[in-house]
Amino acid sequence: MMPHPDGEVGSHNSAARILPQTPDLIGAALAGGLLALAFPPFPLGFLAYLAIAWMLLIVHDRTPREAAARGYIFGFVFHFATLYWTAWVSGPGMVVMVAILGLYVSIVFWLWAWIRRVLGDVAIWLFPFVWIAHEHLRGIGDLAFPWTNLSLSQVQYTPLIQFADTTGDLGIGLWVGFIGVLVCQIILAWRDRRRVVVGLLWAGLALAFAVPYVYGRMAIETLDSSRSVRVAVLQGDIDSYRKWDSAYVDQSFAIYEAQSRAAAARGAKLIIWPETAAPVYIRSEPRYHRELRELSSDLKVPLLIGTLEYESVKGGGYLSYNAAIMLDTGVYHSEYHAKLHLVPLGEWIPFSDRIKVLDRLEVGGAHFTRGTKYVLFPHSAGEFAAAICYESVFPEIIRGFALAGAHFFVNITNDGWYGFSSGPLQHALIATFRAIETRRPIARSANTGISTLIDCAGRFHNPTAQYVPDVVLADLPLGYPNGETFFVRHGMFVGNWSLILTILFAGLCGIVHLRRRKHLPK
């Protein structure tokens, strides 16, 4: 189908003729719900292909404004159904966040429909790049939130997602987008009775699954698991609200001390406490500082502990950090890891580091300062990095640790705020991609679960149940001792090139559109 001279696309390929029983606005809402069902906790990742295809049919020949409206409904419903659990902390905050994320999706469909006004049907093959450009931008900056990337819908298809070691998780999302386009094109070709085209598209679809699957099987089989370290990840199940009460600090220390002694007796070579398991500024608390030193000396096993740290500043005052510290045979490591990316409003006020008056606002969260260094901790099995909570959702942070020389990762977190919802499971599964992208394993310690060991292929080992005290003790295979994957070397190139292509085609289409309007009769 060719575009009209004024840039408007004809309507003879209307999606209404394909899905006459579903009004567009309702269809957009249903497609958003379908995409949500593709995300954890549901093992229905294939629904992502169908949801994207359905939306492409709905906006197939709509104007940019119409596509944006339907895209907003799609994005709002998808994010509402996927991120409902954030209401456990703030209901109004959840609604505002979902509304903003829906707006991002609306812009994606507006921009793609605008490009399509000029390019016609061929523009459908650009849709995955436009979508990934939006995911890439959504993962950058102080308010970054890459939680709902399309890749997460595929996390349970282990062989199919192994090429993330080359492309990163955005490459998985790009692949999902192209599968959706192929499904859409098959439906359109079938409707128009273009049998040869249908056959070619089915062949392309089969190839799109076969190539990643073969690559994945080969990658998994070639992973080296001969080297390992015996790790214990602790799950104390401390109430997330009570743990900050000074009356319960002794209880927290007692629980983790008992778990640590049990893990050491069973041969652990590294013992990991969750995020803020020691909920005090440890250097300013002589009693707890001494107790940890004595415990480490008794066990003669390195301890990695989530706690609070601070730094004095000139002129008085101090900077506080959500941190991880390490002790080995009674000696504190000279450096601590301060969390590099803080949760907006929960751990800091966005832009307060540049607009000082904002730091005086009280919205119920902490006032931490972001760390600036990629700190590695020493171990006989090789240096390792500790990612705190939200840091595990950012590929560039974990890649930075890999470039610094980390042999394996620790992820400490406290997801107890979100109850028995899908949030803690989604958070745990996102770390799957960090393991595959870097081919380095992850030991994950979560206060209330899910604690687990994740191997270099992204597979979980001995995951715990939620809200029960537990200890995971197992050998963590170290995989690549000194290797760097293509993704570690080259980073977010899929997102960068998707953004470049989107800007390039949008610019070219803008020029063509202006020239066409210039030559229209007055």
Domain identity same for 156 and 93: yes
Lowest mean per-residue pLDDT among 24-38, 96-110, 293-307, 467-481 = 467-481
As a residue count, the chain comes to 522
- The pTM of this model reads 0.92
One domain, residues 299 and 386: yes
459: in domain: yes
Q: Is the pLDDT of residue 293 over 90?
A: yes
Is residue 244 located within the same domain as residue 284?
Answer: yes
Q: Does residue 270 lie in a domain region?
A: yes
Query: Is residue 57 included in any domain, yes or no?
Result: yes
Q: How confident is the model at residue 9 (pLDDT cuts 50, 70, 90)?
A: very low
Whether residue 2 lies inside any domain: the answer is: no
- In this structure, are 162 and 283 located in the same domain? no
Instruction: Extract the tokens encoding 87.
Output: 């209401």
Task: Assess whether pLDDT exceeds 50 at residue 5.
Answer: no
Give a yes or no: residue 10 inside a domain.
no
- The residue type found at 521 is P
Q: Is the pLDDT of residue 162 over 70?
A: yes
Is there a single domain that holds both residue 365 and residue 466?
yes
pLDDT tens, residue by residue, 354-370: 666 666 655 555 678 89
Does residue 1 sit within a domain? no
Residues 16-32: pLDDT tens digits?
445 444 588 999 999 99
HSE-up (13 A, CA, CB side) for residue 240: 16
The DSSP letter of residue 194 is -
pLDDT in the model for residue 85? 96
Q: Based on the domain organization, do 243 and 376 belong to the same domain? A: yes
Is the domain of 244 the same as that of 207? no
Tell me which of 313 and 375 has the higher pLDDT: 375
| 453 and 431 belong to one structural domain | yes
Same domain, yes or no: 367 and 408: yes
Tokens of residue 162, six digits: 């192994």
Distance separating the N- and C-terminal Cα atoms of the chain: 26
Residue 269: inside a domain, yes or no? yes
Q: How many CB atoms lie within 10 A of CB 321?
A: 23
Give the Cα separation of 273 and 301 in Å (integer): 13
List the CATH number of the domain containing 404. Answer: 3.60.110.10
* Tally of CB atoms within 10 A around 220: 16
- List pLDDT tens digits, range 418-464: 999 999 999 999 999 999 999 999 999 999 999 999 999 999 999 99
Query: Is the model's pLDDT at 6 over the cut of 60?
Result: no
45-59 pLDDT, tens digit per residue, is: 999 999 999 999 999
Same domain for 191 and 277, yes or no, is: no
- Average pLDDT of span 369-394: 95
For 239-285, how does the pLDDT look when each residue is reduced to its tens digit (9 = 90+)?
Answer: 988 888 888 899 999 999 999 999 999 999 999 999 999 999 998 99
Claim to verify: residue 207 and residue 171 sit in the same structural domain: yes
Question: Taken in order 221, 222, 228, 231, is the CA torsion positive or negative?
Answer: negative
Residue 516: pLDDT band (50, 70, 90) is: confident
What integer pLDDT is reported at residue 3 of this predicted model? 46
Q: Across the chain, what does the average pLDDT equal?
A: 91
Instruction: Tally Cβ neighbours within 10 Å of residue 119.
Output: 17
When pLDDT is cut at 50, 70 and 90, the band that residue 4 belongs to is very low
236 inside domain: yes
Q: Are residues 234 and 215 in the same domain?
A: no
d(Cα 72, Cα 63) in Å, to the nearest integer?
14
| Backbone CA torsion sign across 6, 10, 14, 15 | negative
- pLDDT tops 90 at residue 234: yes
Q: Answer yes or no: are the C-beta atoms of 386 and 304 closer than 8 Å.
A: yes
Domain that holds residue 92: 15-222+491-518
Q: Are the beta carbons of 432 and 155 closer than 8 angstroms?
A: yes
Instruction: Provide the number of structural domains found in the chain.
Output: 2
